[in-house]
Amino acid sequence: MHYRLVARPPLPTIAALTGTESNPHKVSSETIRRLLTGTTTSQWEGDALLKALCQLQDRYPDGRRWPEPDDSR
């Protein structure tokens, strides 16, 4: 869902966002491809992928899927 919401960016773009200060786990483009196709799973790599995709959307990864009217963010 998050990958589609950011218009399916190139995998190297996503990989570049992993390993940054706000996302300390570096994930390769190949691992991202395998995560998106469901051929591998990993908790920390999946979390790093989610954080990178949320960063592209300017969203907080632990936030609500649909904002409520009273949300400040």
In a domain, 27, yes or no: yes
- Under 8 Å between Cβ of 21 and 44: no
Task: Answer yes or no: is 41 within a domain.
Answer: yes
> If you write DSSP's letter for every residue of 12-25 in order, what string do you get?
HHHHHHTTBTTB--
Position 50 in a domain = yes
For residues 55-63, average pLDDT: 82
What whole-number distance in Å separates Cα of residue 59 and Cα of residue 46?
A: 16
CA distance 45 to 41: 8
* 62 is a domain residue: no
Q: Write out pLDDT tens, residues 7-55.
A: 999 999 999 999 887 777 899 999 999 999 999 888 889 899 999 999 8
